[in-house]
Chains A and B, each alone.
Chain A
Amino acid sequence: MSLPCGIRNFSYHTDIAIIRTKTQWVLFILFMLALFVLPLYLPRSWFDTVNSIGILLIAVVGLNILMGYCGQLSLGHAGFMAVGAFTSALLTGNLHMPFLLALIISGLSAGIIGLIFGIPSLRVKGFYLAIVTIAAQFIIIWILQNWTDITHGSNGLDVLPASIFNWQFDSEIKQFYLIFTIAVISILFATNLARSRIGRAFIAIRDNDLAAEVMGINVFSYKLLAFFLGCFLAGIAGSLYSQYRGHITYEDFTFQQSILYIGMLIIGGLGSSLGPILGTVIIETLQKSLTNTVAPWLEHTMTFMPTGFSSGLNLMLFGLAIILILIFEPRGLAHLWALFKSSYRMWPFSY
């Protein structure tokens, strides 16, 4: 990506910085301020949407490490999230473990389950791997459904809101700060990971894994690492989800959810740090407003259709969006933004 006009680097330190100019610093700080005072001016009805965006964001950032950088398709991300959610619920509920510890352990457990299903990536890729992860999704959910001694089957588990050092996160606003702090940390982690040796190895594997192996990258261990990191973040997201909702069952983590995450990532843009953010925020906002306002309105006005027809609207438009993005802008909205930025910088000589 091109630098802003007139900016030159005189040391490696400035060359590798993410934020390079004073304007960028100002904008970044303003954005972070705006984000963290958001609860003060946000209408109450939007809190639920914003908080679930934050949770989804963590999961999709994890998926981006796995799918966007390393090129390994995971169609079972909701399943890995479920592993994290149930681990955290059990640890805090039955063993009364402090939340932060449970958060880390649930990330690790989801990561390890991810590793197990990532092992076939040594021999197979593409569609075969996609099928293995579909199988992972269904096997995990089946186990959660039938291991009723621990997971209580379809009754689910009740989870108390998180508390860190006697600090209870028992309101929507407090939850907002908890979720978004962790979301910002994981986005920073993913962005920096992508620029490190590991991230470049991932990209090499994505572009051509045979060539990467010839260049001396240990393909198998890096693929497993990608699975671990992607599923680790999914587990963290699951843990946050469980304590935010207060009640979880296996039905919260369907295969459709898994596809939803992939769709968000594709619409936002694979393999960029901005992509998951754009995708999650835009899709989740659109979906919430579709279900909350447009669908009832349609049901009300189009009475000639059979009742309940608008339930399919969400799925249909979302599927259509994936198809259109893949056909017209396979690199997603993040690429459109990058194009806009570079043409703004070049103006009036943009081409």
Chain B
Amino acid sequence: MDILIQNIITGVATGMVYALIALGFALIWKSSRVANLALGQLVLISSWFTYSMLVQFKFPFWLGMILTIAFAILLGWLIERLALRPLIGQPILSLIAITLGLAYFLEGFTAFIWPQGQGNLPKVFPQTSIQIGPAMIQQELLWAAVISLILFILLSVFFKYHRMGIAMRATADDQLAVQACAVPVNRVFSMSWIFACVVAAIGGVLISSIAAINYGLVETGFKSFSVVILGGMESFLGCIVAGPIIGLCETFGGSQFGSSIKEVIPFIIIVIVIMIKPFGLFGEERIERI
């Protein structure tokens, strides 16, 4: 019984971390219909930047965080301006391929600047485990879960009520019509990439302060595609519901069939979901016309 509750809480908390990364994906997809496959690499590069700020230059934590977020904003703006904007209106294959190129570039860039391959951030959260009912749980995981929940609420409110959020949703719906209504579509795209990079940076700092900075972050990025697929690509709610489901499947699968299966469970879920319900739990089914 204790183990059950322990597994549930750990699973939900790990799932929330996936959900956090997946939010960054949904943001870009929602506004510009670009599938960002460089998700893990964005997390990786911003974690390494934080590492530089906090460990190599020994800045205080608050300054390091501000600089990291500034870096993420700059990165998002640069990516959109230099790589994505010239491709507006190109076929989807080019859009996917350019994010792959971006992924390669960012990965090479991190290996170029930070070739050590492994780094540890100073611990942000208290290390003591806390007791919930009969189960012991690492406090950091709970903090990560709470922060992703807060980000989810903020983003949902932003998309629902803020002018820019509404413009982003409208752009996703019909780019031409929105342009006719004098919405600055370029700025919408810019903003969505900037937001996504900031979310990725926050996710990166959270994950790498819990574990370590290494290539595993990129794989976490791939795993969070399962969250996106299960939840439905354009839904924040989908991310926040599907994340814990994936996390639970992972922990329970791991405890049932040995821990090595953990690595592959998200991918099996992807295949099953796409075969049965390709648009996910909360996604919109798109009807195509010629």
Within 8 Å of chain A (Cβ to Cβ): is B90? yes
Contact with B113, one of A71, A136, A146, A309 (Cβ below 8 angstroms): A309
Residue of A nearest to B260 (CB): A146
Residues on the B chain within 8 Å of A210, using CB? 288-290
Measured in the bound complex, the distance between the Cα atoms of B260 and A130 in whole Å is 24
Contact with B100, one of A263, A308, A310 (Cβ below 8 angstroms): A263
- B109-127 residues with Cβ-Cβ distance < 8 A to A are 109-116
Q: Are A135 and B270 neighbours in the complex by a CB distance under 8 Å?
A: yes
Contact with B35, one of A130, A313, A317 (Cβ below 8 angstroms): A130
Q: Are B101 and A312 neighbours in the complex by a CB distance under 8 Å?
A: no
Q: Are A127 and B35 neighbours in the complex by a CB distance under 8 Å?
A: yes
Within 8 Å of chain B (Cβ to Cβ): is A296? no
Within 8 Å of chain A (Cβ to Cβ): is B252? no
Q: Are A327 and B87 neighbours in the complex by a CB distance under 8 Å?
A: yes
Q: Are A323 and B98 neighbours in the complex by a CB distance under 8 Å?
A: yes
**B259: min CB distance to chain A, Å:** 11
Contact with A71, one of B93, B222, B263, B289 (Cβ below 8 angstroms): B93
Within 8 Å of chain A (Cβ to Cβ): is B158? no
Contact with B103, one of A124, A312, A319 (Cβ below 8 angstroms): A319
Q: Are B229 and A128 neighbours in the complex by a CB distance under 8 Å?
A: yes
Residues on the A chain within 8 Å of B83, using CB? 323, 327
Q: Are A123 and B108 neighbours in the complex by a CB distance under 8 Å?
A: no
Q: What is the size category of the interface that chain A forms with chain B?
A: 35 or more
Residue of A nearest to B272 (CB): A135
Contact with A along B217-230 (1 / 0, CB 8 A): 00000100110110
Within 8 Å of chain A (Cβ to Cβ): is B254? no
Within 8 Å of chain B (Cβ to Cβ): is A314? yes
Within 8 Å of chain A (Cβ to Cβ): is B96? yes
Residues on the B chain within 8 Å of A310, using CB? 112
Q: Are A306 and B104 neighbours in the complex by a CB distance under 8 Å?
A: no
Within 8 Å of chain B (Cβ to Cβ): is A73? yes
Residues on the B chain within 8 Å of A286, using CB? none
Within 8 Å of chain B (Cβ to Cβ): is A185? no
Measured in the bound complex, the distance between the Cα atoms of B40 and A225 in whole Å is 33
Q: Are A322 and B97 neighbours in the complex by a CB distance under 8 Å?
A: yes
Within 8 Å of chain A (Cβ to Cβ): is B13? no
Q: Are B229 and A306 neighbours in the complex by a CB distance under 8 Å?
A: no
Residue of B nearest to A121 (CB): B274
Within 8 Å of chain B (Cβ to Cβ): is A169? no
The count of chain B contact residues (Cβ–Cβ below 8 Å) is 48
Residue of B nearest to A214 (CB): B290
Residues on the A chain within 8 Å of B115, using CB? 306-309, 311-312
Residue of B nearest to A327 (CB): B86
Contact with A along B78-92 (1 / 0, CB 8 A): 000001001100101
Measured in the bound complex, the distance between the Cα atoms of B48 and A306 in whole Å is 14
Contact with B104, one of A131, A138, A142, A318 (Cβ below 8 angstroms): A318
Residue of A nearest to B90 (CB): A330
Q: Are A316 and B225 neighbours in the complex by a CB distance under 8 Å?
A: no
Q: Are B101 and A119 neighbours in the complex by a CB distance under 8 Å?
A: no
Within 8 Å of chain B (Cβ to Cβ): is A194? no
- A282-315 residues with Cβ-Cβ distance < 8 A to B are 306-315
Residues on the A chain within 8 Å of B103, using CB? 259, 319
Within 8 Å of chain B (Cβ to Cβ): is A97? no
Q: Are A323 and B116 neighbours in the complex by a CB distance under 8 Å?
A: no
**A9: min CB distance to chain B, Å:** 33
Measured in the bound complex, the distance between the Cα atoms of B112 and A211 in whole Å is 46
Give the secondary structure class of A's interface: helix
- A18-57 residues with Cβ-Cβ distance < 8 A to B are none
Measured in the bound complex, the distance between the Cα atoms of B100 and A256 in whole Å is 10
Q: Are B108 and A322 neighbours in the complex by a CB distance under 8 Å?
A: no
- A66-100 residues with Cβ-Cβ distance < 8 A to B are 67, 71, 73, 75
Q: Are A120 and B274 neighbours in the complex by a CB distance under 8 Å?
A: yes
Q: Are B104 and A312 neighbours in the complex by a CB distance under 8 Å?
A: no
Within 8 Å of chain A (Cβ to Cβ): is B4? no
Q: Are A119 and B105 neighbours in the complex by a CB distance under 8 Å?
A: no
Known: A123-B278, A131-B229. A312 touches B107 (CB 8 A): yes
Q: Are B104 and A67 neighbours in the complex by a CB distance under 8 Å?
A: no
**B233: min CB distance to chain A, Å:** 8
Contact with A127, one of B96, B109, B289 (Cβ below 8 angstroms): B96
**A337: min CB distance to chain B, Å:** 20
Within 8 Å of chain B (Cβ to Cβ): is A266? yes
Residues on the B chain within 8 Å of A270, using CB? 93
Q: Are A138 and B267 neighbours in the complex by a CB distance under 8 Å?
A: yes
Q: Are B268 and A322 neighbours in the complex by a CB distance under 8 Å?
A: no
Q: Are B271 and A322 neighbours in the complex by a CB distance under 8 Å?
A: no
Known: A134-B225, A330-B94. A315 touches B104 (CB 8 A): yes
Within 8 Å of chain B (Cβ to Cβ): is A132? yes
Measured in the bound complex, the distance between the Cα atoms of B104 and A314 in whole Å is 9
Measured in the bound complex, the distance between the Cα atoms of B288 and A315 in whole Å is 37
Within 8 Å of chain B (Cβ to Cβ): is A326? yes
Contact with A315, one of B86, B98, B105, B116 (Cβ below 8 angstroms): B105
Within 8 Å of chain A (Cβ to Cβ): is B191? no
30 contacts between A and B (CB under 8 A): A127-B96, A130-B35, A131-B228, A134-B222, A134-B270, A135-B271, A138-B263, A138-B267, A139-B271, A208-B290, A210-B290, A259-B104, A262-B97, A306-B115, A307-B115, A308-B115, A309-B113, A310-B112, A311-B111, A312-B108, A312-B109, A313-B112, A314-B108, A316-B108, A318-B108, A322-B100, A322-B104, A326-B97, A327-B83, A327-B87
Closest 9 CB pairs of A and B: A312-B111, A319-B105, A316-B108, A315-B108, A322-B101, A319-B104, A312-B112, A127-B35, A308-B115
| 20 further interface pairs, Cβ-Cβ under 8 Å (given A75-B100, A126-B93) | A120-B274, A120-B275, A124-B274, A128-B278, A139-B267, A139-B268, A214-B290, A259-B100, A312-B113, A315-B107, A316-B105, A316-B109, A317-B108, A319-B102, A320-B101, A322-B100, A323-B98, A323-B105, A326-B87, A326-B97
